[in-house]
């Protein structure tokens, strides 16, 4: 047994693998095991892994048939013996003091600790990225603490959500049977894993230190996936999260108000992956009704969302929430006349309020 298990999923990264592994072996903190998961890589990655294992007894190599990123990480979790878990993607590399700083922070009593990153492009240009809520401690005492954190902090990427930007407690992972969902069925498996993990914690800390070096590759899986719609896979992600929450009676509050989480998951997809801030009513209707397979799940959450205005106000101004509700009604019933009437009323009310504000400010 060791203090930290580092899991590295590997597939077709021969060009980057040695830099990744060397950065881990050169850590100032040495009580770790390095689990290299060769996910059926067709290049020389498997051989490179074996060569490293022959030189360092802290390295264990898993050779398996290709099953995707989630499957490779899960294989590493099945083998891990460390008290804490860190994931590193095989085309990235880490700072020499990553383990030391992350470990020294989490042993202060936190259940999860996040850290910042450096973004590196193919030309080796570096941009440091510290999350907006870095330096903060979060405590979860009630279910509404989790809900507010998920809606306002987590889903707005204020502490990140990538698996490789955190150190986890393995006992929590094993106690609640946490594993990554099949990334051919869902999108953003890191988001799924963290949405399931965080609700079983009591404390979190977001470090300011940029300790992880993320390589932004033009040919990466993420780079290719954001060029196409993933709306249905996000719908499936939300379903998988709700399935996990329903397993635990103490998470009934999250289940009851899950529609707000659902909307923020889908909003993230619409905003980030379609590269647009706003959509007109027909775009919403067509995207939700044409692209989502499980329409019953989608419609159930949209119907429930209309009762969650107070939660929506955590992220959006009142006028925008009312417009969202109006669009949801149109997505659900397709009544364009009713939508235009309500939208017209909202426009008039907004214009009157704006005029009043301008008068008062003179």
DSSP bridge partners of 118: 128, 213
The residue-averaged pLDDT of 78-102 equals 98
CA 56/CA 90 separation, integer angstroms: 18
Distance CA 305, CA 296 (A): 14
Q: Are strands 4-10 and 166-169 parallel, antiparallel or unpaired?
A: unpaired
Residue 303's pLDDT is what?
Answer: 94
Token pair belonging to 110: 């936190």
Please give the Cα distance from 209 to 361 (Å, whole number). 43
pLDDT at 357 over 50: no
- pLDDT over threshold 70, residue 356: no
Sorted by where each begins, the domain ranges of the chain are 4-225, 248-360
* Topology, domain 4-225: Spore Coat Polysaccharide Biosynthesis Protein SpsA; Chain A (3.90.550)
Phi and psi angles of residue 226, each rounded to the nearest 5 degrees, phi first: -75, -5
Cα separation, 162 vs 194, in Å, equals: 8
pLDDT of residue 361: 52
Report the half-sphere exposure of 318 (CA within 13 A, side-chain side): 4
Bridging pattern class, strands 166-169 and 112-120:
antiparallel
What is the Cα–Cα distance from 24 to 58, expressed in whole angstroms? Answer: 11
DSSP class of 85:
E
- Classify residue 307 by its DSSP letter: T
- Residues 304, 246, 231, 161, CA torsion sign: positive
pLDDT band, very low/low/confident/very high, at 258 (cuts 50, 70, 90): very high
pLDDT of residue 25: 98
Beta bridge partners of 112: 168, 204
Q: Computed from CA positions of residues 74, 78, 83, 86, in that sequence, does the dihedral angle turn out positive or negative?
A: negative
Phi, psi of 87 (to 5 degrees): -105, 140
* pLDDT-based confidence at residue 102 (cuts at 50, 70, 90): very high
User: Maximum Cα–Cα distance for the chain, whole Å?
Assistant: 77
Q: Has residue 79 got a pLDDT over 70?
A: yes
- Quickly state the pLDDT bin for 352 (edges 50, 70, 90): low
- Percent of the chain at pLDDT > 90 equals 72
Q: In whole angstroms, give the CA distance from residue 224 to residue 319.
A: 36
Split at pLDDT 50, 70, 90, the class of 228 is low
pLDDT, tens digit (0-9, with 9 covering 90-100), for 233-246? 999 999 999 999 99
């Amino acid at each position: 047994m060791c203090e930290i298990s580092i899991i590295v999923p590997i597939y077709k990264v021969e060009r980057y693998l040695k830099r990744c592994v060397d950065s881990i072996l050169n850590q100032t903190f040495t009580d770790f095991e390095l689990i290299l998961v060769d996910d059926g890589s067709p290049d020389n990655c498997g051989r490179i892994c074996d060569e490293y294992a022959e030189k360092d007894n802290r390295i264990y190599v898993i050779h398996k048939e290709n099953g995707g990123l989630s499957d490779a990480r899960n294989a590493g979790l099945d083998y891990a013996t460390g008290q804490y878990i860190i994931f590193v993607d095989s085309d990235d590399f880490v700072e020499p003091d990553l383990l030391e700083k992350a470990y020294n922070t989490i042993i202060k009593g936190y259940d999860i600790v996040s850290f910042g990153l450096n973004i590196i492009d193919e030309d080796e240009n570096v941009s440091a990225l510290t999350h907006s809520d870095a330096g903060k401690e979060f405590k979860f005492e009630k279910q509404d603490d989790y809900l507010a954190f998920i809606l306002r902090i987590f889903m707005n990427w204020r502490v990140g959500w990538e698996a490789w930007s955190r150190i986890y407690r393995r006992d929590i992972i094993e106690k609640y049977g946490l594993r990554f969902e099949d990334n051919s069925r869902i999108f953003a498996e890191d988001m799924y894993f963290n949405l399931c993990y965080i609700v079983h914690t009591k404390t979190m800390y977001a470090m300011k230190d940029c300790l992880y070096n993320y390589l932004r590759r033009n040919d990466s899986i993420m780079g290719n996936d954001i060029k196409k719609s993933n709306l249905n896979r996000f719908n499936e992600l939300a379903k998988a999260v709700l399935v996990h929450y329903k397993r635990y009676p103490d998470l009934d509050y999250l289940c009851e108000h899950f529609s707000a989480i659902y909307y923020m998951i889908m909003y993230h997809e619409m905003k980030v992956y379609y590269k647009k801030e706003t959509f007109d009513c027909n775009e919403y209707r067509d995207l939700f009704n044409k692209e989502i397979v499980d329409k019953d799940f989608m419609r159930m959450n949209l119907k429930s969302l209309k009762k969650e205005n107070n939660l929506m106000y955590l992220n959006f101004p009142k006028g925008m929430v009312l417009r969202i509700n109006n669009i949801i009604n149109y997505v659900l019933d397709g009544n364009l006349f009713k939508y235009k009437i309500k939208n017209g009323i909202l426009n008039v009310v907004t214009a009157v309020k704006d005029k009043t504000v301008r008068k008062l400010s003179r």
